[in-house]
Amino acid sequence: MAEISAKLVKELREQTGAGMMDCKKALKENDGDINKATEWLRQKGIASAGKLEGKVAAEGLVESYIHTGGRIGVLVEVNCQTDFVARNEAFKELVKNVAMQIAACPQVEYVSVDDVPTEFVESEKSIEMGREDLSNKPENIREKIVQGRIEKRLKELTLMDQPFIRDQNKTVAELIKETSAQLGEKVKVRRFIRFVLGEGIEVKESNFAEEVAAQTGQK
């Protein structure tokens, strides 16, 4: 496989407007051929979507999803740039799919890694650095291992890094980029909340026979 230089990644970014990691992946998938990488990004709907990143998305929809049985409910806000796109069927379908995705991922707490509080990251790092299985390893090796573990942990908690429930070959982030390219507008998941029936309620276990005995004065 051809070595992918930072200069080549930068050149592809300037040509397509795609993100750095997307450009690097495209070049790796195409052995460093920038033309093939550009075509690969366009096929994925990433090239044109990257150019929309600086746009302001203030329109959109708030969607609800109640899972069968009524035990899980989701509210999600997905933004786009215009009310016209907000009424588009492709956008509506995306929002519904995102709401279902959130319901299906109970471990997800944040939209993206950028939303995870610094305090949480530092706390997780401190815990991992203290693991017994790393105690005999050199400091620099420990740092690399811990960094890998933290990155994995954060991806587990973020919506954008989840495999899309209807197509495990793409992530939710890739789904958003593809839809953004299709619609020609910036699309962004802003926030969500998940309701789980009974969550947070402390249920006191009791013995019915003992309760009856106590009420009737029996022992």
149-207 pLDDT tens trace? 888 999 999 999 999 999 999 999 999 988 988 888 889 999 999 999 988 888 776 66
Predicted local confidence at residue 90, as pLDDT: 94
Phi-psi region of 217 (alpha: psi -120 to 50; beta: other; left: phi over 0): left
pLDDT at 37 over 90: no
Banded pLDDT at 61 (limits 50, 70, 90): very high
Which run of H or of E encompasses 84? helix 83-86
Q: Are 110 and 116 in contact (CB under 8 A)?
A: yes
- Report the C-alpha gap between 190 and 99 in whole angstroms: 12
Residue 175: CB atoms within 10 A of its CB come to 22
Distances (CA, A) of 50 to 4, 77, 163: 20, 21, 20
Report helix, strand or coil for 196. Answer: strand
Predicted local confidence at residue 137, as pLDDT: 73
pTM of this structure = 0.67
User: Phi first, then psi: what are they for 118, rounded to 5°?
Assistant: -60, -35
Mean pLDDT of the chain: 84
Predicted local confidence at residue 57, as pLDDT: 75
Q: Which residues contact 137 (CB under 8 A, 6 or more apart)?
A: 145
Predicted local confidence at residue 62, as pLDDT: 96
- Report the C-alpha gap between 121 and 115 in whole angstroms: 11
Closest CA to 188 of 20, 76, 41: 76
Predicted local confidence at residue 64, as pLDDT: 95
Higher per-residue pLDDT: 9 or 157: 157
Predicted local confidence at residue 51, as pLDDT: 59
